[in-house]
Structure 1
Amino acid sequence: MTNENDADKFDSMPFIALIHNISKNRLRYSIKNPNQLDMIHEGRYLITINKRSGLSQDDLADTFTQSKGTIAKALRKLEDKGYVERIIDENNRRKYILKTTKEGKELAILLENDLKEWEKNVGIDELDERTKDQLKNIARKSEDILKDSD
């Protein structure tokens, strides 16, 4: 539970530190939650692959602003566990399209339900659409700034 000192800590914390704190606490929750298995980082990739048909390995790297090597390593783990298939794109033989297997779909649904439960417990599900749109806008702008500085 929170105490008076915790409220002071969050009141004086910069916005980006709040976002970081929320993210870190989500990871800590994932570690404690038995449904997460060992899918803390790979789980978010699995959920996304399951939701977005026709997603490529490069698309996944762009979505999560991760290196292609980091994504390839995670996908290898997911593939070895039987959760994901990489299918060569018919239009570009150097590109892989990602698809969840039956087991991958089942796990993705379980992980997504756990995520929704966590979001409900911390109140994220109560955010109005305007606030969610503002946060997405901030995320887009933060990426655009990086692209503009390249």
Structure 2
Amino acid sequence: MTKENDKSDKFESMSFIALIHHISKNKLKYSIKNPNRIDMVHEGRYLIQIYKKENLSQDDLADMFCQSKGTIAKALRKLEDNGYVERKIDENNRRKYILKTTKDGEKLAILLIKDLEEWEKNVGIDRLDDDTKDQLRRIARKSEEILEE
């Protein structure tokens, strides 16, 4: 049996959740190889969302990524210290901060998005049809709903 067959057998016997976890871990390993980028486990993911969505708050990020507010705060502090993100007090709620990318943050977010798109193309995620992507989103939503029951 060749190594290639070993890998094929390993993946064919993995559960769906194990496959998703394996893909996710390999994406993180791929991100780390990129020398002039930031930690994609936390900061990079957050930076991309802050870049893409207006009026995003720290609480929004915590909900979006199922992370604690402390984890989000720590990552945001790094992004702020590096000049990628700034916080502004929400005019409607003085206890809430709205997040915005700086010019440097925008440049980095664009690079990170390109990296992500390249990785997805290399592994074939870009070839998944819309029905498959919608089904995966439904599974993700249902997995959260079950926690709330």
Indicate the TM-score class for this superposition, using the shorter chain for normalisation.
over 0.9
Residue 34 of structure 2: aligned partner: 33
Aligned length: 147
Whole-angstrom distance in 1 between the partners of 2:114 and 2:9: 32
Q: CA RMSD in A?
A: 1.1
Question: In the TM superposition, what are the counterparts of 1:54-69 in structure 2 within 5 Å?
Answer: 54-69=55-70
2:129 counterpart residue number = 128
Name 1:139's counterpart in structure 2: 140
What's the % identity of the aligned pairs?
75
Q: Residues 28 and 40 of structure 2 are in contact (CA less than 8 Å); yes or no, is this contact kept in structure 1?
A: no
* C-alpha contact (below 8 Å) 1:35/1:114 kept by paired residues: no
Specify the alignment match of 2:99 in structure 1: 98
Change (3 A) 1:102 1:77: same
Within 2, Cα distance between the matches of 1:44 and 1:120?
A: 18
Instruction: Provide the secondary structure at the position in 2 that maps to 1:82.
Output: coil
Amino acid across the alignment from 1:125: D
How far apart in 2 are the matches of 1:40 and 1:106? 19
1:76 maps to which residue? 77
State the AA in 1 paired with 2:28: L
The TM-score, its normalising length taken from structure 1, stands at: 0.95
Q: In the aligned structure 1, how far is the partner of 2:128 from the partner of 2:39?
A: 29
Partner of residue 20, structure 2 = 19
Query: Is contact 1:50–1:100 with CA below 8 Å preserved after alignment?
Result: yes
Structure 2: which amino acid aligns with 1:142?
A: S
The 8 Å contact of residues 35 and 110 in structure 1, kept in 2 or not, is answered as no
Give how far 1:37 is off.
3.9
Distance 2:134 2:38 in 1: 31
